[in-house]
Amino acid sequence: MSRILVSYATLGYPKEREYLEFIDGCIREGSDILEIGVPPKYAKYDGPVIRRSYKQVSTWLKDIWPLLKETRNRVKIPIIILTYLEDWLPILDDFLSNLSKIGIDGILFPDLLIDYVDEYEKYVKIIRDHGLKAVIFTAPSVPDPMIQKVSKISDIFLYYGVRPTTGVPIPVSVDSLITRIRILVNNKLVVGFGLSDVEDMRKALRAGADGIAIGTAYIEAIEKGGVQDAINLVKYFRGVLNEF
């Protein structure tokens, strides 16, 4: 079975037309799963590039639902929403119901195990009760026994962010990090957070990752050269994954 490419897009970035073009390109060039970032008030664990994209989108996107619906209609592959639990807590039921109604597959809250570690099981249940899949975000700072435990209950795959933030190339030993947690994870393992360097990517895959998640690199490509450049990157990353 080939490795999984999870492609990330910030909802509506940079503008509606280009966003949809990019989504189409992601699918065409072989993404397996789409991860859509819904701009939060405070992107606590995101780096400067993704934060810029949120800011840009927030200037014009006032209602997320029509565009989320449109995204769902164009795309057959699974869609996972990435957003912060903190922002949605006051209206969590409505939010999850709406996602479920329009046919979104799952949700990933990067702050779940960090800021709500004592209640994560409760929130996983709430997510599932709404008919959504709960994709759990982990990081190197999650203790071994906890990785083992949550890896089993994470739906679709377990997400593992190797850096403390997205899109800042902090020097980390990708191979030893993944070798360490591969033996703990009894599930599909998708690695992300600053994984745009193809050597890092290969290291991750060699060390046993089932897939990679890419976000910042696409946004940077869009910033610099436009949507087509980002789509070319999807194709390029697909090629790297296909080496394995």
Partner 1 sequence: MAIEREEILPKYWYNIIPDLPKPLPPPRDPPEAEFSRIDLLRKIMPKEVLRQQFTVERFIKIPEEVREAYLNIGRPTPLMRAKRLEEMLNTPAKIYFKFEGATPTGSHKINTALPQAYFARAEGVNHVVTETGAGQWGTAVALAARMYNMESTIFMVKVSYEQKPQRRTVMELYGGKVYASPTNLTEYGKKVLAENPSHPGSLGVAMSEAIEYALANNYRYLVGSVLDVAILHQSVIGQEAMKQMDILGDEPDILIGCVGGGSNFGGFAFPFLGAKRGEKFIAVGSYEIPKFSQGDYMYDFPDSAGLLPMVKMITLGKDYVPPPIYAGGLRYHGAAPSLSLLIRQGMIEWREYSEPEIFEAAKLFAEAQGIVPAPESAHAIKAVIDEALKAKKNNEKKVIVFNLSGHGLLDLPNYELMMKRLSK
Which residues does the annotation mark as catalytic?
35, 46
Find out whether 243 and 34 touch, Cβ atoms under 8 Å: no
What mask of x and - would describe binding to partner 1 in positions 23 to 62, judged by CB under 8 A? ------------------xx-xx-xx--x-----------
b (16+ CB within 10 A) / e for 145-168: eebebbbeebbbbbbbbbbebbbe
Residue range at the interface with partner 1 (CB under 8 A); choices 4-12, 98-106, 137-145, 224-232:
137-145
Residue range at the interface with partner 1 (CB under 8 A); choices 22-30, 64-72, 134-142, 224-232:
134-142
Amino acid at 148: Q
b (16+ CB within 10 A) / e for 183-207: ebbebbbbbbbbbbeeebbbbbbeb
Q: Which residues of 109-184 form beta strands (DSSP E)?
A: 133-138, 158-161
Q: Tokens representing 79?
A: 């869609």
Q: Which of 131, 140, 208, 226 binds partner 1 (CB under 8 A)?
A: 140
Q: Which of 146, 153, 198, 240 binds partner 1 (CB under 8 A)?
A: 146
H or E segment at 214? strand 211-214
**Least distance in angstroms from the C-beta of 180 to partner 1:** 7
- Any contact of residue 184 with partner 1 (CB under 8 A)? no
Find out whether 198 and 174 touch, Cβ atoms under 8 Å: no
Q: Which of 58, 173, 186, 242 binds partner 1 (CB under 8 A)?
A: 173
- Any contact of residue 73 with partner 1 (CB under 8 A)? no
In terms of CB distance, is 15 or 116 closer to partner 1? 116
What is the distance between the alpha carbons of residues 221 and 122, in angstroms, rounded to a whole number?
A: 38
* 242 φ/ψ sector (left φ>0, alpha ψ -120 to 50, else beta): alpha
Q: Which of 169, 186, 225, 239 binds partner 1 (CB under 8 A)?
A: 169
Residue range at the interface with partner 1 (CB under 8 A); choices 3-11, 17-25, 142-150, 233-241:
142-150
- Any contact of residue 163 with partner 1 (CB under 8 A)? yes
**Least distance in angstroms from the C-beta of 169 to partner 1:** 7
Binding residues for partner 1 (CB under 8 A): 41-42, 44-45, 47-48, 51, 113-115, 117, 138-144, 146, 163-165, 168-173, 176-177, 180
